[in-house]
Each structure stands twice: as C-alpha cells, then as structure tokens.
Amino acid sequence: MSAQNTLNIKTAQDIDKPELSIDADVVIVGSGAGGAINAYELARQGKKVVVLEAGPYVPSSKFSEMMAVAMGTLYQDEGGQSNTHGDISVLQGACVGGSTVVNAALCFRTPEYYLDLWAREFGLDNLTPELMSSYFDKVEKNLSIDKNGPQETSIGAHLISNGLKQLGIREGVAYRNIRDCALTGFCFAGCKTDRKQSMLVTYLPWACNHGAEIYADTRVTRINTQNGRATGVEAQVIDPKTKTVKSNVKVNAPIVVLAAGPVQTPIILMQSGIANSSGQVGKNFACHPTLSITAMFDRHVDDFHGATHSLYVDTHVLPEEGGYLLLNAVQDPVEASFQAEPGTGAPYVAYMEKYRNSIRLITLIHDQNVGEIRFKDGVKEIIYEVDDKDFEIMKEGLKYNARILFAAGAEYLYLPTSDRTLIKSVEEIDSVIDQLKNEPARYRYVSFHPQGSCRMGADPTKTVVNPYGETHDVKQLYIADASLLPTSIGYNPSETVYALASYIADQIAKANFS
C-alpha cells in the first residue's frame, strides 16, 4: 500500500481556523528518522501521538527526479543552508520524512570504537555493543537494510573497484535501506517508486495506522514547561505560498520528543529558553565535511545509473588510522556542475560537455566538534570552519582518493577548489595537494551529516541530554535526532540515529507507560 493512502496528514491547505488547540499523549517535533521512529513506537503503545513537521508534504508521486527542482521543494532553505562563510553546504531534508527522503540510503552500524569512546568519556555505559546490536538488528529488518547486489553497482564504482584491486586496497560494499532498487540514481531528489525505505513509506504510515496524526507546514516556536516538566508546544502553520501565518497551534502533551535535526533542535531550545544549564545547547557541532574529486576519462562512462553509493573505502576511517572515509557516488548534471571549478564561458561548456566521461570519489572526514549553532534576532547561524588539523586529514584523504582514481584509469582530475586546479598525473598528486591551504571559501565542501549540537552524556554540566534521551533540565522532554551524538563518527550516521531513536522510544515507554 502506498504512503499516500495511509498517512493521516493535514497541510496548511487543510487548516482554516486561526487558532488550533490539540490534546495528545505525545507531541513529536520533526518527522525525519528520530521523529518518525518515535511516532510509530509510541503510537503502537496505544498513545495519541501528534507529529509536527515544518516542511511540506510532498508525496512520492510528485517527486520530479530533478535535483534542481528537489532542492527547492525538499531541502532546508531550498538547498541553500550553509555555514556563515558560505563554503560548506549543509544539506538537510525539509519535508515530511525529513532527510531520509533525500539521503543516499547508505547505512553503517556505529563502530564499537565510538561506543567504547562514548562510554569512557561521556558516561554512556548503557549503549553497549550488545544492546546496540539488538537495535541495529531491529531497524535493519524494518528498513530492509542489506548489502548491495552486483547488479546494483554503478559503472563508476566498477572502475574504482578495479583501481582498488590494482593498489591492493580493501573495498567495502555498501549497505542501503532499499527494497528492489530501480537503479535510477535519483536518491538525492527523492525516490519516486517508493523503493528507498524512507520514513515517508515506512515508519510514518505505520504510525498513522496506529492513530498518529501528522501536521505538515507547521513550525514549532516554543516548548512549554511547568515546574521543570514539558507540557507541550506552540507552533505556527505557515502557508507555503504566501509564507504568512495561517494558524497558531498549541499542542498540550505531557511528553515532548524533539527531533527537528541538529540545526533546528538547538534553535527551538534557545527560542524556548530551556534545557541549557550546561551552556552546551548548540555547541559541539560537527558535520563530516566532504570534498569530491572529479575524474575525467577518455571515453563515455555514463556514471549516473545504479546505486547512489556502491562502495566505500574505510581503511583509514578511525582517527588513529587517518580519520577519513572514501565513497563513490553517481551524480546528475546539476551536481557535476558545482563539484569543480573549470572556469566560465568556453572552459565551463567544455567541462560539462565531458560530463558523460566523468566519475567522482568523495573524501569524508571525521571532523572535530568545533562548530556552533546560534540564533539571534530571528537569524540562524551555523558557525563552523574546517579545523586546521582536520584540513590536513582532508589533504591526506584527497591524495589517497587521487591515487585510486588514476589507478582506475582517469586521464586527469579536477580538485574541488574555487579556482581551476587540475592534477594531470600520479606524479603531481603530492605536489599539487601539498600546496592547498586551509582558507575560507576556497573549497566546494558539502555536508549531509550535521550532528552533535545537543550532546548526550551522564554529566549534566557538560551535556544536554541524559543517557536515556531525556534532557537533564526538563523532565519528559526527549531529544531523538543526530544532535545527540557526542562525537563525529566518521561514517554516515543514519543507522546510528535509527537505532538510538528506537532505544529512546523504549526508554520513554518504560518511564511513562509501564
């Protein structure tokens, strides 16, 4: 059954009252990974669950399969969200289903390295490998997370695989939350065939089947509290066409689950003036900055069909091993057009004429939690610059990346700089990359993985959320999104969020419904 037939959803178009008051057992802010999973797990306990989503409801039947259109309809700030320097695009979904609608579906279990680190440094002794394994098993079954089959491997990934074999480098095969992938390569623009198992086609309709209600176009402005306990939220229904307030909404609920994302969650807490006795709300932001090297071949490759990600290289992913991960990725022409700087006019046209000859390989770094989310006078700021030490890690990752691409048969490479930078041979790799300096606005960074702005931990003076997902300061106010992560984890964090959200839902049920 399609999601459209099972979602109990109201949009701004459906609401004609200037004031709306709703009573519920649980109100959930955000309909992405954390929000949707909590909606289902708590609704199936027989509780009345209301989900508020600031973004629009776009059914999969209306996905355009065009990246340029998707940016304007499915992404935060129409795809324009970035750090204050404007050199890192921080991409998040802003629609019913959240980032799960527009991510690449790539899934990794949290490495035990980080679970051990979090236990040691943040007192998260409860998140043992054994416990987390049970939750990984659960979400992998529910979301059809499985290893890519050979038929799903893109042409570019085959070339990269050949390069890895020549260099004797271990290859990782991607796991994705996909069912019978159509191999169209449109993951970042939304999956029109509902084969990507996003929240839009899994946990949200499941939650609605248990009575949950979803309100789209509804932006939460405040969390209400009384005597140190959450009592609900205030929100505004925004007309997506006029951008005006159509209705003021108040949801009365003794349990609030905040899952608006690592940028928006701390902003809502700041607007509400709560849960920040530690002074850590919005601090410790990380985002896994990535740079893609574009490789040009002497023939058409047509690397735009197949799994969005087919393979990865994690031989240097842990901090002691280097701190970077490599990922292949197919790309459509829009993405290709901003991955490198070929120049303008004739040089740009010549570059795009060779789009069919290109493939890309991404370097993703495990970054330090050096960023901060701020909100002042109604203005959002993502204060983040790539740390000097992290930039040296990025350079090592780019060298590794470049050697693999040349081994795969590339003629020459474009580096993702704001000026035209080519590497024409293996011999040039070190000299060209060693000259790169950590300068703002020089590189074409992209981040799909904001995280860490409301850290989870045992010490209420250093973290925002306790080991069970409840804020230290406000009882029955829970956070269930990637803002919880105490550190960057160096891998795509989606499965970590799926598992933590399931765990937190169980803790909510145990504490309140037993």
Mean pLDDT, the chain, whole residue set: 96
Residue 306 lies in a domain: yes
Give the CA distances from residue 220 to residues 125, 201, 276, 278, 495, in Å, rounded to whole numbers and listed in that order.
Answer: 33, 24, 18, 23, 26
132 shares its domain with 168: no
Q: Write the CB contacts of 95 (distance below 8 Å, at least 6 apart in sequence).
A: 53, 55, 56, 57, 58, 73, 74, 101, 102
Q: What is the DSSP string of 289-302?
A: -EEEEEEE-SS---
Distance CA 486, CA 473 (A): 18
Amino acid at 88: I
Residue 83 lies in a domain: no
Question: What is the tens place of the pLDDT at every residue in 124-178?
Answer: 999 999 999 999 999 999 999 999 999 999 999 999 999 999 999 999 999 999 9
CATH number of the CATH domain containing 474: 3.50.50.60
To the nearest 10 degrees (0 to 180), the angle between helices 494-512 and 129-142 is 100
Instruction: Please determine, for residue 28, whether its predicted confidence score (pLDDT) is greater than 60.
Output: yes
pTM of the predicted protein model: 0.96
The tokens describing 35, both together, are 């929000």
227 shares its domain with 159: no
468 shares its domain with 378: no
181 shares its domain with 326: yes
- Where would I find the H helices in 277-387? 333-337, 346-353
- What is the count of structural domains for the chain? 2
267 shares its domain with 344: no
To the nearest 10 degrees (0 to 180), the angle between helices 112-122 and 129-142 is 130
Count CA within 13 A, CB hemisphere, residue 512.
22
3-class state of residue 363 by DSSP: strand
CATH number of the CATH domain containing 415: 3.30.410
486 shares its domain with 391: no
419 shares its domain with 376: yes
Instruction: Please determine, for residue 213, whether its predicted confidence score (pLDDT) is greater than 60.
Output: yes
Distance CA 259, CA 238 (A): 19
* Residue-level pLDDT at 10: 97
Helix (H) or strand (E) holding 72: helix 67-74
DSSP 91: -
Residue 293 lies in a domain: yes
Q: Which residue range is the domain that position 251 belongs to?
A: 3-58+108-142+200-281+456-512
Distance CA 31, CA 260 (A): 8
330 shares its domain with 405: yes
Scanning the structure block, which residue is given the tokens 């890309």? 360
Residue where a domain stops, chosen among 397, 424, 447: 447
Residue 101 lies in a domain: no
402 shares its domain with 271: no
Cβ contact 230:64 at 8 Å: no
Residue where a domain stops, chosen among 430, 447, 464: 447
